[in-house]
Chain A
């Protein structure tokens, strides 16, 4: 059956929808299709725009954005198309969500559109899977994308590549939705690669800057390493199950695979290798900080809220497989916590506002992996969701700051770095709204009650304790270690975020007098999305308040209508994994490694976080921060942190240089020497033979006649005798 547009547009119920007790999907294909449509429209506009500017340049000028005729239509239309398609997508997703809320859905609904490829027994369908997990992801992706698109309208307003920017951004959302809604690993991989491509395109959006183009390349290459793992894991799955569809794999996993067996461990480890690439974990996290070369809304959308969480989604989606492999899960949790700690230490000493947030993102992604690594898949997804809100908010807030700084520095023709926090300070006065919302996000990420981050982070920390203390926990000591590191990281988070806030918004202004007159609050098109995200960051955590906490004062004494809502909502998806876990691990622990229950540790951690925020607010406030050009180089251990533990240099020495050397050897010796030598030798031999043959060509008629006669005689002789 061939794909047609009408098929995607029609109601899914008309096609064979597997499963689904009473749940009727509402145009699910359109949710995916609309961003693609947006990409097509914006792409055409971008091409038209590019040829217009090329004409203008040939005519000796450049395309006027603020000319007498107003902005060209190719520059204004994307502002409507880009966010517009996502608004509709979000509304459709919300309709589907409310419909799913109303029914008890135990099986995922798979909507089959057409067969994508079919070779022998291998078949991949173009099909969407609607279940509780993909629904959460759809809601988060469409909502956050929409808000960031709106923000981009203000942020990218004066960029000459405006339509191209929206085309890429729409394409990204399309691939992200394919990733979270696809019904098989194959489709997920399509989305996985697609978002990687868009990430590359958007990091190198200002490609005329060599450094930025290189950052894009780095992201692409590092991701390839992870993708190799994803592919190998898919091969294993195909060999074992004969299919890549989620439903049969997860149904058959508990019989086909042995708990703790080598095969399932290999599958999970290779999948996790894919996840370390996409989600920036040790050892492949190095691309994410460099990815900050892209426009700030891109950092917010792709490198904080959505794409980088794909690895967490992958692990949560494959929860059964990971539950079956204690080694795989332990690796996920260990790598997660080490990444969280490492990135948090680096973030302590960064001066670029976006770099701090980038390392903070790496650190928070580590938390999510710890969550899904200790079997708390719902907690991981919960943190993914709250993180999407507050980290998008932080990035967009920093975008507003950079936007303002950039304008001010532009006015005075200053060449100071608009992203360096040492050049900021005291911006509270000029950007009051941004200041407030950034504080909301900071308190959320630091884990201060009652903001969203408290509930999600605390649940992960609690689940480490519960998992590690369970009756037959595989490596109890390891989990105690992870638990301690997770707490330490939480404290570091509170510190570096407060440092960021104080250096940016508090203290004395370091931009210079002339510049400070040009600092201004962001326009409404930018701060309204910030405000929405601030509301979500403040209250988003209340959808998953643990039962024990709910009863206490921290749960408003049971006033909230829902307890562990997200946990229960995701239960159909994680049920199989939970069953495996229960059968093999036994009863979960009810106390932390060093005593204390869930409520007690919740209270301790929020007090700790709040305490560190308050103390570091005072400490950092007393620092004498100098502008970037007058600041001294850091010394001692601070220098190591400032230089990111020299990991980039280490990789350069251990991997890049030997690889370049080996390549040079292959080029100079093997290619130029051996291979080219053989080819040239063949040429020389042919030329020599030709020279020998040419000796018979005297050009004299008699010689030819003589040889001819001789030949005739020889043939005649051969025939006769």
Chain B
């Protein structure tokens, strides 16, 4: 159990680090998936101790992640069509 939680933490930190550091939208996107799955791993690990609830939550997270992937990828594709790049540094129009 401890091992699973440690792996989960390491995965989450890697994911967060990726989101903060990388500029490629697709890589950032993958990193978010990594964070989600790190959480999933933690859920599964905890469900061994406190019952089945954690595993049920994992399914919810996977559903939301699938939906998010579909929407996110669609946005990235449309951005790419417009700018011909997926570097998020170029997308800073949405401010005051």
Contact = CB atoms under 8 A, between A and B. Distances in A.
A178 to B, nearest CB: 65
B95 A697 contact: yes
B84 interface: no
Interface residues of B, number: 13
B20 A706 contact: yes
A266 to B, nearest CB: 66
B96 A700 contact: no
Interface in A692-721: 694, 697-702, 705-706, 709
Contact of B88 (A697, A701, A706, A709): A701
Contacts of A709: 16, 19-20
B54 to A, nearest CB: 20
B37 to A, nearest CB: 18
B95 A702 contact: no
A697 B23 CA distance: 18
A438 to B, nearest CB: 84
Interface string A673-704: 00000000000000000000010011111100
Query: What are the 7 A-B residue pairs with the smallest beta carbon separation, nearest first?
Result: A699-B92, A699-B95, A694-B96, A697-B95, A701-B88, A700-B92, A697-B96
B94 to A, nearest CB: 5
Interface in B65-96: 88-89, 91-96
Contact of B94 (A694, A699, A702): A699
Nearest to A703: B92
B28 interface: yes
B81 to A, nearest CB: 19
A697 B88 CA distance: 15
Contact of A700 (B16, B19, B88): B88
A698 B20 contact: no
A702 B96 contact: no
Contacts of B92: 698-700
Contacts of B19: 705, 709
Nearest to A693: B96
Contacts of B91: 699-701
Contacts of A698: 92, 95
Contacts of B28: 701
Interface string B1-29: 00000000000000010011001000010
B16 A702 contact: no
Nearest to B31: A705
A440 B19 CA distance: 110
Nearest to B22: A702
- Indicate the member of A701, A706, A709 with the most B CB atoms within 10 Å: A701
Interface string A99-141: 0000000000000000000000000000000000000000000
B96 A705 contact: no
Nearest to B95: A699
Contacts of A700: 88-89, 91-92
B20 A705 contact: yes
Given A699-B94, A705-B20, 17 more contacts: A694-B95, A694-B96, A697-B95, A698-B92, A698-B95, A699-B93, A699-B95, A700-B88, A700-B89, A700-B92, A701-B88, A702-B20, A702-B88, A706-B20, A709-B16, A709-B19, A709-B20
